[in-house]
Amino acid sequence: MAPTLGFFPVVTLVVLSGFPAAVSSRRDVLELGDADFDYLATEHETMLVKFYAPWCGHCKKLAPEFEKAASRLKGSVQLAKVDCTTNSETCSRFGVSGYPTLRIFRYGKDSAPYDGPRTAEGIYETMRRQTGPDSMHLKTKDDLKAFVNNHDASIVGTRSRVFSGTDSPRLAEFLKAATLLREQFRFAHSTNLQLAEECVLLFRPPRLANAFEDSIVIFRDYLTIGSLRRFIRDHIYGLCPHMTIENRDRLRVRDLLTAYYALDYHHNIPGSNYWRNRVMKVASKYVGRGLTFSIANKKDFLLELEEDFGMGTSDGGELPFITIRTRLGHKYTMREEFTRDGASLQRFLEDYFAGRLKRYIKSEPIPEKNSGAVKVVVAESFDQVVNDPDKNVLIQFFSPLCPHCKKLEPVYGELAETLRSDPKIVIAKMNALANDVPLGYDVQGFPTIYFAPVGRKDEPVRYQVRHLSAYPRPEARWTSATVLDEKRRFLKVQK
């Protein structure tokens, strides 16, 4: 069970609404510590707490987004923060093991991890769903009409043969599901509105109505939390959903084709749906082939398109720019111009399913000379060097802008010189900003080091400095005081 705060359970929430000045937004984030956490936390119905460390790069990146969200959520959800370097007791009590960690606290319930997006808008939308009841109680058809007329899809339980009153076991099961899934989806229920024989309906957003699929999907299975969760998962997005910064991670659990263009559902719904309908017309021919489809605003993803697909600002022009990103991380781009009849998109898909497309890989050129003790690896040479079946390879992923990487450089070079005479060991490095990082290597900060041993290339091991508690700041881990000890340990591991 998640830790509780006496009678006050812990849950982390956030809501946004207007972005005042930075000083004001910082005041909207409540600062808590060991001495006053229990006392101040109980004053709020819903609270989102950020557990952080001042030196943490990801924490610094999150801070302005968190402050903007706090300003918009002011009056409905309280945002707070705890500095774990000076308040270790509170952070330990809630199981904080990495930074930043976000948890939701709601009065009378256990605390829960916050797993939503970490942009100001994403925090706002996620936390806004945490306010009020888990499922909205609808009493009239006007209530229903207002609820489903929303930017997001809606799941509604209505009166039926098996869902007929407040004491219905199916209603209880529906409400349990709403409690578990409210962070991701919108729920409502009624015990006096009968819209169909079945008890649960999924209403897709009105702005996404189209001729290729139903706007309302009926749940026909036996109602359990598991069956309802599967139903929502399989139908919530439809044939071609609108991908945003907030929902992209949920959409990308599958192989996904995305059409990027000047999409704007706030000011130009017909224009946004013009290109979507053309994508859907082609997509409808490939249902069941293992590829899902989506559309997105090109401006929202411009930096990602530039970094991940090498796209220039003029690529595609006014026409959609098409990419495929598989769940394994493979990337493809449609270089032919998008035609209004969909023929170019269909040719692209036929080539994709036939295996004729060449993957897009972001890579620096393979170095002509690579005779140093530390071997330089790029994305195009990764398989050749790191996945060499006869070599044990230690690979460092670095950023040329990272001061910790620069501090590590002489240490890493010294290690490479020591092991240079062993033909079975390779010490290597790769610029993770200029090259695609292969699947299986989780690089969230720099430097990140992995060991790819002989016989286990598909199971690389993240290399960690021993006794990290002895080096409280990351930059302190890579000093001359630790080099020999770490070097001896690595050498010992190889024997």
Residues annotated as catalytic are 56, 59, 402, 405
**251/181 Cα distance (integer angstroms):** 16
**295/298 Cα distance (integer angstroms):** 9
The 3-class secondary structure across 322-385, one letter per residue, is EEEECCCCCEEECCCCCCCCCHHHHHHHHHHHCCCCCCCCCCCCCCCCCCCCEEECCHHHHHHH
Provide DSSP, 415-434.
HHHHHTT-TTEEEEEEETTT
Q: Which residues contact 462 (CB under 8 A, 6 or more apart)?
A: 442, 448, 449, 450
**421/387 Cα distance (integer angstroms):** 20
Cα angle 346-231-152, degrees, rounded to a multiple of 5:
75
236 in Cβ contact with 153 (< 8 Å): yes
188 in Cβ contact with 156 (< 8 Å): yes
Residue 358, both tokens: 């060449």
Kindly state the DSSP code that residue 288 receives in the 8-state scheme: T
Residues forming beta bridges with residue 188, ordered by sequence position: 136, 156
In the three-class reduction of DSSP (H, G, I as helix; E, B as strand; rest coil), residue 283 is classed as helix
**230/358 Cα distance (integer angstroms):** 34
94 in Cβ contact with 111 (< 8 Å): yes
